[in-house]
Amino acid sequence: MGHTLAEKIIMKHIGGKSVKPGDLVVVEPDCVVIHDIYTAFLQDKMKKMGLTKVWNTDKIVIMHDHLMPACLEGDPRSLEAGYELVKEYGIRHFHATGGIVHQLVPELGYSKPGDIVFVTDSHTPTYGAVGCFSTGVGYTEMAAVWGTGQMWLRVPSSIKIQIDGVLPPHVYAKDIILRVLGDLGAAGGTYKSLEFCGTAIDALGIDGRMTIANMVVECGGKAGLFAADQKCADYCGVDYEDVAWVKADEDAEYERVLTYKAEDLEPVLSCPPYVDNVHPLSEVKGVRLDQVFIGSCTNGRLEDLKIAANVMKGKKISSHVKCIVTPASNSIMEEAMKEGYIQTLVEAGALVTPPYCSFCEGRTMGLLSDDEVVLGTNNRNFLGRYGSPKAKAYLSSPEVAAASAVMGVITDPAELS
């Protein structure tokens, strides 16, 4: 019997020994990352553990993305801890600014096909878009990895998601993952590897694959994986022949298989108050909006900004809508400026922020009051996450979000064509 992609990556890290779901293994990760929310906690934990040095200063990364710029009383202490950790342990890779961790890790080459990466954040599965087994851990586990270079894993069972065909107009990667989440439910992928394949998946760019991998945690997924192909190799700057093995075996055994025809997919939205409360756009049209958010580690990439700009070009955002746009990284912001997307969005009336977690983290930039309604391209719509627990949050693709910002209500972008 062959192996799933998750199993093959884990096997590479334990000397090629065969594994099966449920096996407990110990691996040395290729990279670990901590962001500013947990730097102070990790610093304290390192001291309590008596750890005076780290296992590999070249495999540890510190990034600031949630608390920069600081907005709450305790934020400066966490940011200060990041700088102190660099000095105390000789950490070589430190990014005080630059964007959202889940964009920067693959963008800066910290995740490669076939790697294992751990980060202190739940949306770490994003790097599965480039064939990297990546998952979130707590700061206590991170401290242990810093000191020992080892982490235990339980080999996950896998769900195969096969999508063949050509996506219809107005259907994007966000619609794919929302449909899958709606079908699996909030706990349907708990501690499993979701592995995406098929001709429709192959046609997606890396931006779209990141959108999908980013959100597998919303059904409890341990990892969200895509096979390495030439697009992946080009993005990561590696030779495809060196990573061609990063794919599932044809006779791999899956716990479950979900099969879709791309042509049957349609624009969908996640509706309040749960991510898996997914409905077709046709059932939600007309809901009045107070705010629209385009950005986050889910949909703040160049492709997303281009889609939004194409919708808004020559138009104005509805007078009663606050529209916030947050690119996922500095490099994306710069490229979007060169291409004119930022200018288009600003001319339409959008507020463009620096690249950081922004509205999505529920701490800064656009928090909601009672009974306000927001449509975002981010990954969560949990009750109370964005301010008042009486507010409502919907999730959609960037195209639906942009069209809805213009019209002031949830809108089918096809109606603007």
CA distance linking residue 294 with residue 323, whole number of Å? 8
CA-based diameter of the chain, in Å? 63
Q: Is residue 346 within 8 Å of 364, Cβ to Cβ?
A: no
User: When comparing pLDDT for 68 and 211, which is higher?
Assistant: 211
Asked if the model's pLDDT at residue 417 lies above 80, the reply is no
pLDDT at 405: 98
Strands 373-376 and 351-352: unpaired
Whole-number average pLDDT of the chain = 97
Structural domains in the chain, CATH included, are 5-262 (3.30.499.10), 268-412 (3.30.499.10)
pLDDT in tens, 350-366: 999 999 999 999 988 99
Q: Give residue 13's pLDDT band: very low, low, confident or very high (50, 70, 90).
A: very high
Of the pLDDT bands very low, low, confident and very high (cuts 50, 70, 90), residue 134 is: very high
pLDDT of residue 235: 98
Query: Does residue 174 carry a pLDDT above 90?
Result: yes
Lookup result for tokens 């910290």: 110
244-298, pLDDT tens digit by residue? 999 999 999 999 999 999 999 999 999 999 999 999 999 999 999 999 999 999 9
What pLDDT shows up at residue 1?
Answer: 84
Say if residues 381 and 393 touch (Cβ distance below 8 Å).
yes
The answer to whether residues 253 and 157 touch, using CB atoms and an 8 Å cutoff, is no
Is this model's pTM higher than 0.95 or not?
yes
**For residue 333, what pLDDT band results from cuts at 50, 70 and 90?**
very high
